[in-house]
Amino acid sequence: MIRDLLAPLGLALTLAAPAWAQNTVDEIPYEDASGPEAPAADGASTASGEPFARGRVAAQGFLVDGKAIGGLVVGFAASAFRMDLGFNLAWATDERSQASLDGDGFFGSVVDIHLGARVELTEMFAVEAGSGLDLWWLFALHSEEVKLAMPLYAAVEATLAQQFFGRLEARGYLLASDGLMVGRSFDGEDTVPLFFTASAGVWF
C-alpha cells in the first residue's frame, strides 16, 4: 500500500532529478529487490529517493598568487542542491611573507562550508552558484587568529564516466574580516577581487 502511494512520488522525483542522478539509478545495488528499498514501480527510483543523493570527495587547490593552499573537500548533493565542507592547509610562498612567519611558511588552514544550487547543462557539464562561510584560521600565528568571509561563488563542473569530476570555481567575498583582502597584492596593488579554486574527485 505504502509502496503504491510512493511510486508516483518516485516518478516525480525522477523527472525532477538532474541527469547525473538519473544515470546512476541502475548502478545502485539491491540485495533484495523485494525488500523495503526495492525500486519503485517505474524502475527509476527507490521509494526513499536514494538515487537523488550522492556524496563525493575531492582534492582541492586554491589558485592564488603567493600562497599554496590545498586540501580535501567532502560534499553531498541532493537534486539541485549541493553542500561541501573543505579543509585546506595553507602556506605562504612569497619570500616577503616569511618575515611574518617561522619556518616553512605554513600559516594555518582554510575551512570552507558552501551551499550551492546546481544546473545540469548536459549529462557531462553542470554549473553551480552559491555561498557559505570561509574560515581562514591562522593558527600558526595565534590559536585564535581567525578571519571570516562570506563568499559568493560560481563554478563549472565536468563529470566523466558518471564518477569522476573536475571543477573550476571563481570565488569572491561579499563580506570579509578586516585584513582578508582578495585581489590585493602584497604590495597593496588591487586587481580583480576574485580567486579561483580547482578540484578533482569522485562521486560515490
Partner 1 sequence: MRALLLFGLLPLGLMLAGCVPVTLDNDPPVDFKRWQAVYVAPIPGADADSEREFVEGLRADSGFKTVTTDGGARVDAVLYVTVDVSESYDDEDDEYEYTATARVRLESALDGRVIDSTEVNDDGGSRSGAVDDALDEVVQHYLRAYRL
CB atoms near residue 94 (< 10 Å)? 12
Q: How far is the CB of 190 from partner 1 (least distance, A)?
A: 9
Q: How far is the CB of 143 from partner 1 (least distance, A)?
A: 7
Please provide the size of the chain in residues: 204
Backbone angles phi, psi at 38, to 5 degrees: -65, 155
Alpha carbon 88 to chain centroid distance?
A: 13
Separation of alpha carbons 112 and 58, rounded Å: 13
Give residues in contact with partner 1 (CB under 8 A): 62-67, 92, 94, 96-97, 100-101, 107, 124-125, 136, 138, 141-145, 147, 156, 158, 160, 166-168, 178-186, 191-192, 194-198, 200
Q: Which is nearer to partner 1, 50 or 145 (CB)?
A: 145
Backbone angles phi, psi at 50, to 5 degrees: -55, -40
Q: How far is the CB of 119 from partner 1 (least distance, A)?
A: 17
Q: Which is nearer to partner 1, 34 or 122 (CB)?
A: 122
Q: How far is the CB of 20 from partner 1 (least distance, A)?
A: 14
Q: Which is nearer to partner 1, 64 or 85 (CB)?
A: 64
Per the CB < 8 A criterion, the answer to whether 149 and 134 are in contact is: yes
Q: How far is the CB of 92 from partner 1 (least distance, A)?
A: 5
Q: Which is nearer to partner 1, 18 or 41 (CB)?
A: 18
- Which of 117, 147, 115 is CA-nearest to residue 131? 115
Please give the helix or strand (H or E) that residue 78 lies within, else none. Answer: strand 67-78
Q: Which is nearer to partner 1, 7 or 121 (CB)?
A: 121
